[in-house]
Structure 1
Amino acid sequence: MFDAKIRPLIDPFLNAQGARLAARGVTANQVTLAGLGLGLASAGLIAVGLTCWALAFLLASRMADGLDGAVARQHAPSDFGGYLDIVCDFVFYGAVPLGFVALAPEANGLAGAFLLCSFYANGASFLGYAVLAEKREMKTSARGVKTLYFTGGLLEGAETIGFFVVLCLWPDGFAPLAYVFGTLCFATAASRVVLAAKVFSA
């Protein structure tokens, strides 16, 4: 919901830092994989109860996720780079809830499963829409220049990162927060299905 509004604010900083990294020979794929490594480290720290440290790694991971596209734009962005980026994002989004389940399986198990199921539904609605948008040669840069077509929704990247930050600051609240956020994710997926029905039925 907020991604399109945030992009104009953060893109100048990301593009400047991306240019510096590219000038030093750093590739976009290296930044993507570094971001995934930081994200997995965050999930591991959550699993052992070090949620404050996990928050630092989580934020660093998302900074890398923003920088990889900025680095790519300094050269020629590749389809594989966009593919790798979305795969790593989905692994990260699944790993953080898994970390909270591992931290307290009895308290968080069912809520974590519900949350991951909602992520699965939301991801399917997002990727399916992107495939059909590509088939119809639809374009948008509202959320920055992307390899895939990014359609909006009630919950997007910014909201999910904010949710993860709250979880790291209040780990005991995982179960109720997961049910609320998961419900909103299902609502986001449903809204995309409705939008797809309007756009792609013809």
Structure 2
Amino acid sequence: MLDATARRLIDPPLNRLGRALAARGATADAVTLTGLALGLVAAATVALGAPGWALIPLLASRLADGLDGAIARATRKTDFGGYLDIWSDFLFYGAIPFAFAVLDSANALPAAFLLLSFYVNGTSFLGYATMAEKRGLETSAQGSKSLYYSNGLLEGTETILFFVLLCLLPTWFAPLAWTFGTLCFFTATARVLAARAVFTD
């Protein structure tokens, strides 16, 4: 829901920084993997009992996630780069709830529900992108992407804000996870209904 607005604000500075990094030899794939590594460090920091400190690598990870696309736009976008980016995102999104389950076994059930909702929502997103590609549909609402990005109630911006909230309020993990997971199911359901309207001949 917030991605399109956030993109209008962050893309100009990211593109400038991306061009500067590309001029110094940085590659999009290397930045993607750096962002993933930082995200996994954030997850490990949560699991080891310091969710507040996890904010530093978590936010650095998401900065790298924005910069890889900016570098690709400044050099050359590749299908593998887009694939690596979405794979890294999904690994990161799964690692954070898992880390909170490791942190406290009382978080296991809400973490499992949250991961289930991510799985269902992610499948609705990737399935929609596959069918959109097949029909030649395009969108730039979330910026220039390697695959079709269908909007929804919860998108990347909301998920990052949610992770930040979890790190700031770790004792509230359970109610936050139940709430966000439920909203993920609403997002997935809305996307399925949208797909039915668009893809039914």
Smaller-chain TM-score bracket: over 0.9
* In 2, Cα distance between equivalents of 1:52 and 1:168: 5
- Offset at 1:2? 0.4
2:149 aligned partner, one-letter code: F
Give the superposition deviation at 1:145. Answer: 0.3
Match of 2:182 in 1: 183
Deviation at residue 49 of structure 1 after TM alignment: 1.0
In structure 2, distance between residues paired with 1:3 and 1:199: 22
1:59-98 equivalences under 5 Å are: 59-98=59-98
What's 1:9 paired with? 9
Runs of 4+ in 1 over 6 A off after TM superposition: none
Name the residue aligned to 2:100: 100
Q: Distance in 1 between matches of 2:45 and 2:99?
A: 8
Deviation at 1:181, TM superposition (A): 0.2
Q: For residue 123 of structure 1, what is the aligned residue in structure 2?
A: 122
- Give, in whole Å, the separation in 1 of the partners of 2:5 and 2:150: 14
SS at match of 1:52: coil
Aligned residues: 201
Aligned residues with identical type, % of pairs: 62
For residues 8 and 165 of structure 2, the distance between their equivalents in structure 1, rounded to whole angstroms, comes to 24
1:24 corresponds in structure 2 to 24
Match of 1:140 in 2: 139
Equivalents in 1 of 2:96, 2:33: separation in Å?
16
CA-to-partner distance for each residue in 1:28-50, whole Å, 9 max, x for gaps? 00000000000000000000111
The letter of the residue matching 1:73 is R
Does structure 1 residue 53 correspond to structure 2 residue 53? yes
CA RMSD of aligned residues (A): 0.4
Residue deviations 1:21-80 (CA, integer Å, cap 9, x gap):
101101000000000000000000000111121011100000000000000001110000
Within 5 Å, which residues of 2 pair with 1:155-166?
155-166=154-165
Letter in 1 for 2:196: A
Taking the aligned partners of 1:161 and 1:61, their CA distance within structure 2 comes to: 10
Match of 2:171 in 1: 172
Aligned residue type for 1:75: T
Secondary structure of 1:73's counterpart equals: helix
| TM-score normalised by structure 1 residue count | 0.99
Aligned equivalents of 1:127 and 1:134: distance in 2?
10
1:9: Cα distance to partner? 0.7
Per the normalisation by structure 2, the TM-score is 0.99
Letter in 1 for 2:147: L
Runs of 5+ consecutive residues of structure 1 not aligned to the other structure = none
- The whole-number CA distance in structure 1 between the counterparts of 2:25 and 2:53 is 30
Write the deviation string for residues 167-197 of structure 1: whole angstroms up to 9, x where unpaired. 0000000011000000000000000000000
How many Å separate the matches in 2 of 1:11 and 1:147?
16
